[in-house]
Structure 1
Amino acid sequence: MKKIAFIGAGNMGGALVLGVCKAIDPQQVVIFDLNTERTEFLRNKTGCTVAQSAHDACAQAEYIVLAVKPQQLRNVQALLVPAMKEAKEKGIKQKILSIAAGITLESLAEIPLQYGLDLPVFRMLPNTPSEIGEGLNIYAENSLATDEMCTELENMFAQCGLTERVTEHILDVASAVSGCTPAFAYMFIDALADGAVRCGVPRDKAIKYAAQAVKGAAAMVLETGRHPDALKDAVCSPGGSTIVGVATLEDAAFRSAAANAVFYANEKNLDLGK
């Protein structure tokens, strides 16, 4: 028996595989994806096992991670029912974990339940920095999942970054800020680098300096516990260059653009579950 199976090993699923294989024995991790180049890459990098089919992966693992698109999830679940039945006959007490945005715990439990499989179900909304251990992985669970299961799940994903248990309501409304923010941050870093290049800084150094500055600012928020506005004010000397730059961003509606990006991304996530 394997500890955990990943059905899907794309950008997000693969990032989680890389993190989980640092937390537990890679031989306890089995993966399946139609993209065999991707699965071979992950096998060579981590030492995990590659299954020949989704059925084979699912039938031998305790935790089943459904790392597929929301639009594909229900079909994939239906295809895996025979494998879940097989696992039950073997005495494997399976748990389901989905990383698809917008699909509720109730909906995730529905298809297995139609076939007599009443299983503990988890929803997790990770982000791609999990690949390097700097991810944010918030999750919620249904009533069949115990505290012990949650602790075990957190231990398996510990090397992916911050893994935090929340209510399903918080999971839904926080999905955009947790999952989409890396893309927004990459855009911001790229824009800062463009500005530095315009001022004469070489491109490679501009990207490195902008990324480090953003990383340092994020660390200040997390480690000091101070409000971002207070930290911003501490950098802005009266009549100085920083406050001029801040005013320029305010003139361009920077705050509202960022807030709206999160709001409308979240609206899209909710639509995916309908």
Structure 2
Amino acid sequence: MDTMATYGFIGAGNMGGALARAVCRSVSPDEVFLANRTPEKAKALAEELGCRTADNEAVAQSADFIFLGVKPQMMQELLAEIGPILTERETRFVLVTMAAGLTIADIQKMAGDAYPVIRIMPNTPCSIGEGMTLYACGPDVTAEEEKTFLSDMAEAGRFVALPEHLIDAGSAVSGCGPAYVDLFLEALADGGVACGLPRAAAMELAAQMVVGSARLQQESGKHPGALKDAVCSPGGTTIQGVRTLEEHGFRAAVMDAVIAAYEKTAALKK
């Protein structure tokens, strides 16, 4: 693979667009190509980022890393469309899939050959460089390709390699998790408004508190339980709030949400 890799995105939706933004911060936008079922959407994003538009065929013909940014139920159709083009290629390429529930072996089977595949499960904070992306490389991906991919995608945030059989469990936490946190943020702000805070102030306080609390755990390495205990003074206000959350099954509800998301992913495979 060339030193300067090229990146093609088939699908420029929320997640594909976020990853395209990230790679354009690391490599020349001239090396990034966007294709989308609605061409106007790809054109608007390409103009914003300074990269190029293309169609599915052109991406399949030329990109070194081909991002398959379509929904799982559309993957078979897409790979049937570009499969013959991939077969005729004489240059090396890597398929990058982010489709929930589809394994590396599934992608290879749909594409018609044992092509190199990197399976990723990103999340929406990738759009601001604070993402948590899980990934697994197929056996045909070289160490150099993995290194290039991670280097060029670094602006998306953190990348963690997981054995492929754990990708779905990890995604139920980090991939679905932003929605849970957003619900929590909204509820915190609503509680602040109920206590008399202006809406904008309540949201600002809640959002920065979540950001700071997460960073404190990351940088201190302390168990969340210990950090929680440090806020709960004997006979104080915080412990009463914690007691109320426990009365309403807060931790069990969060655990059940993760498990439900994982089970839904498992159901997609059937």
Which residue of structure 2 lines up, in the alignment, with residue 246 of structure 1?
A: 242
Q: Which amino acid letter does the alignment assign opposite residue 24 of structure 1?
A: V
Aligned Cα root-mean-square deviation (Å): 1.3
Specify the SS of the correspondent of 2:226.
Answer: helix
SS state at 1:23 partner: coil
User: Could you tell me which residue of structure 2 aligns to residue 19 of structure 1?
Assistant: 22
Question: Paired residue for 2:65?
Answer: 63
Shift of 1:38: 2.2
- Please give the secondary structure, in 2, of the residue aligned with 1:238: coil
1:41 aligns with 2:56: no
Alignment check: 8 A CA contact 1:180 1:265 kept: yes
Question: TM-score normalized by structure 1?
Answer: 0.94
- Aligned equivalents of 2:81 and 2:212: distance in 1? 46
Letter in 1 for 2:139: S
Amino acid at match of 1:12: M
1:94 matched to 2:96? The reply is no
CA distance in 1, matches of 2:65, 2:85: 13
Alignment check: 8 A CA contact 1:139 1:165 kept: yes
Deviations 1:144-202 (A, max 9, x none): 11222111111121000001222102212211101100011001000000000111111
SS of match in other structure, 1:136: strand
Partners in 1 of 2:189 and 2:43 — Cα distance? 35
Match of 1:144 in 2: 140
2:184 is the alignment partner of 1:181: no
From 148, 154, 158, the equivalent of 2:154 is 158
Show the counterpart of 1:106. 105
Name whichever of 29-38 and 234-243 sits farther off: 29-38
Gaps of 5+ in 1: none
Identity fraction in percent: 42
Compute the displacement of 1:40 (Å): 2.4
Give the conservation status (yes or no) of the 8 Å contact 1:5–1:31: yes
Which of 4, 8, 31 aligns to 1:5? It is: 8
How far apart, in 2, do the equivalents of 1:273 and 1:159 lie? 31
The residue aligned with 1:29 is 32
Q: Deviations over 1:6-50 (max 9, x none)?
A: 110111111111111111111111011122332122112211111
Letter paired with 1:105: I
SS of equivalent residue, structure 2 residue 125: helix
List gaps (5 residues or longer) in structure 2. Answer: none
- Say which SS state the counterpart of residue 144 (structure 1) adopts: coil
Q: Which of 112, 117, 131 is the aligned partner of 1:135? A: 131
Query: Cα deviations across residues 187-223 of structure 1 (Å, max 9, x unaligned)?
Result: 1000000000111111011111100000111101111
Helix, strand or coil at the partner of 2:160: strand
Q: Alignment partner of 1:93: what SS?
A: coil
The SS at the match of 1:64 is strand
Q: Which residue of 1 aligns with 2:115?
A: 119
Instruction: Give distance in 2, aligned partners of 1:110 and 1:34.
Output: 23
* 1:264 corresponding residue in structure 2: 260
- For residues 132 and 154 of structure 2, the distance between their equivalents in structure 1, rounded to whole angstroms, comes to 10
User: Which whole-Å CA distance do the structure 2 matches of 1:64 and 1:34 have between them?
Assistant: 16
